[in-house]
């Protein structure tokens, strides 16, 4: 899949397991995996960070083939959900960091352009999440409002 604001194909990523079945070498039971996920979320990790933790420390490549649910679904079932989806939240945080940078370095034109690109990604993703009812339909990104959150 091509990048949103570049004419290149993204090549830098890890390869997902080829087989979608649960691996036979995992010694943990599904209940234990759910407990680990809940413990890591209480430690303040996001769903993607939980997945990385499970992969690196517990040797679990994917949660969905084992449990039949994703990490986000497990967190939602246990009432540990975030008010904003993780990817949208990370983009808003990145935009805030760039705005702080541009207040100090106001002649940095390259980052002015990158802020515009990030804000367009925020608007595009928020449109998708409004259609799928993951954020309220009256949610609106504004640079001034984002600084207050």
Residue 35 CA to residue 16 CA, distance in Å, equals 24
The model's pLDDT over 58-69, given as tens digits with 9 standing for 90+, comes to: 999 899 999 999
SS3 category, 63: coil
Q: How confident is the model at residue 18 (pLDDT cuts 50, 70, 90)?
A: confident
pLDDT in the model for residue 46: 92
pLDDT in the model for residue 31: 95
pLDDT in the model for residue 106: 86
The model's pLDDT over 72-131, given as tens digits with 9 standing for 90+, comes to: 999 999 998 888 899 999 999 999 999 999 999 989 999 999 999 999 999 999 999 999
Residue 62 CA to residue 110 CA, distance in Å, equals 38
Residue 59 CA to residue 27 CA, distance in Å, equals 9
């Amino acid at each position: 899949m091509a990048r949103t604001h570049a004419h290149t194909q993204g090549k830098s990523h890890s390869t997902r397991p080829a087989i979608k079945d649960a691996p036979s070498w995992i010694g943990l039971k599904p209940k234990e995996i759910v407990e680990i996920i809940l413990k890591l979320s209480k430690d303040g990790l996001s769903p993607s960070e939980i997945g990385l933790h499970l992969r690196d420390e517990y040797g679990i490549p994917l949660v969905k083939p084992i449990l039949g649910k994703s990490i986000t679904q497990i967190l939602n079932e246990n009432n540990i959900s975030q008010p904003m989806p993780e990817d949208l939240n990370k983009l808003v945080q990145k935009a805030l960091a760039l705005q702080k940078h541009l207040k100090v370095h106001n002649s940095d034109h390259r980052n002015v352009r990158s802020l515009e690109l990030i804000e367009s990604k925020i608007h595009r993703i928020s449109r998708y999440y409004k259609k799928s009812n993951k954020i309220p339909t009256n949610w609106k990104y504004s640079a001034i409002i984002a600084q207050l959150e």
